[in-house]
Amino acid sequence: MADDHNHDEDGHTHDDVELIEEGTTPAADAAPAKKGSEQTWRTYVPAISSLVLLLGGIALDNYATNWFKDPVRLIWYIVAYLPVGWPVLRRAWSSSFRGDVFTEFFLMGVATLGAFAIREYPEGVAVMLFYTIGELFQDAAVLRARRSIKALLDVRPDEVTVLKNGKAQVVKAATVAVGDVVQIKPGEKVGLDGTMRSATGTFDTAALTGESVPRSIEKGEAVLAGMINRQSLVEMDVTTPYQDSKLSRILKLVQQATGRKAQTQEFIARFAKIYTPIICLMAVLITIVPYFLVADYRFADWLYRGLVFLVIGCPCALVISIPLGYFGGIGAGSRQGILFKGSVFLDLMTQLKTVVMDKTGTLTKGVFKVQEVKPVGIDAKELTRLTAALESKSTHPVATAIIDHADTSYETVSVEEVEEIAGHGLKGRVDGKEMLAGNAKLLRKYKVNFDEALTKIPYTIVMTAIDGKFAGYFTIADEAKPDAQKAVARLKAEGIRTVMLSGDKAAVVEAVAKQVGVDEWHGDLLPEDKVTQVERLKAELSGSPKAKLAFVGDGVNDAPVVALADVGMAMGGLGSDATIETADVIIQNDEPSKIAMAIEIGRATRRIVWQNITLSLVVKAIVLVLGAGGLATMWEAVFADVGVAMLAILNAVRVQNLKFK
Three-state SS string over 257-314 comes to HCCCCCHHHHHHHHHHHHHHHHHHHHHHHHHHCHHHHCCCCCHHHHHHHHHHHHHHHC
pLDDT at residue 154 in the model? 53
Q: Which conformational region is residue 148 in: left (phi greater than 0), alpha (psi within -120 to 50 degrees), or beta? A: alpha
Is 281 exposed, middle or buried, given 0-12, 13-18 or 19+ CB atoms closer than 10 A?
exposed
Which positions are annotated as active-site residues?
Answer: 358
Whole-angstrom Cα distance, residue 475 to residue 369? 9
pLDDT at residue 602 in the model? 92
The packing angle between helices 246-257 and 316-335, to 10°, is 160
pLDDT at residue 76 in the model? 95
CA distances from 379 to 376, 386, 412, 435, 460 (A): 8, 11, 18, 15, 21
Residue type for position 621: A
pLDDT at residue 577 in the model? 59
Residue 471 CB: number of other CB atoms within 10 A? 23
The packing angle between helices 72-97 and 121-153, to 10°, is 50
pLDDT at residue 142 in the model? 61
Pick out the chain residues at pLDDT < 50: 1-38, 152-153, 210, 212, 257-261
CA distances from 506 to 431, 456, 509 (A): 39, 12, 5
CA angle (235, 236, 238) in 5-degree steps: 145
Q: What is the CA radius of gyration of the chain?
A: 34
Whole-angstrom Cα distance, residue 106 to residue 33? 35
Composition of the chain by helix, strand, coil, percent to 5: 55, 20, 30
Give the start-end residues of each E strand in 75-173.
159-164, 167-172
Contact at 8 Å (CB) between 80 and 132?
no
Whole-angstrom Cα distance, residue 660 to residue 93? 45
The 10 Å CB-count burial string (b at 16+, else e) for 517-539 is ebeebbbebeeeebbebbeebbe
- Please report, in angstroms and rounded to a whole number, the separation of the first and last CA atoms in the chain: 35
The 8-class DSSP code of residue 243 comes to G
CA distances from 553 to 347, 569, 578 (A): 21, 7, 11
Structural domains in the chain, CATH included, are: 38-150+259-325+607-657 (no CATH), 159-244 (2.70.150.10), 337-363+481-605 (3.40.50.1000), 365-479 (3.40.1110.10)
Whole-angstrom Cα distance, residue 621 to residue 615? 10
CA angle (328, 329, 332) in 5-degree steps: 85
SS3 of 622, please? helix
Q: How would you write 392-427 as a 3-class SS string? A: CCCCCHHHHHHHHHCCHHHHHCCEEEEEEECCCEEE
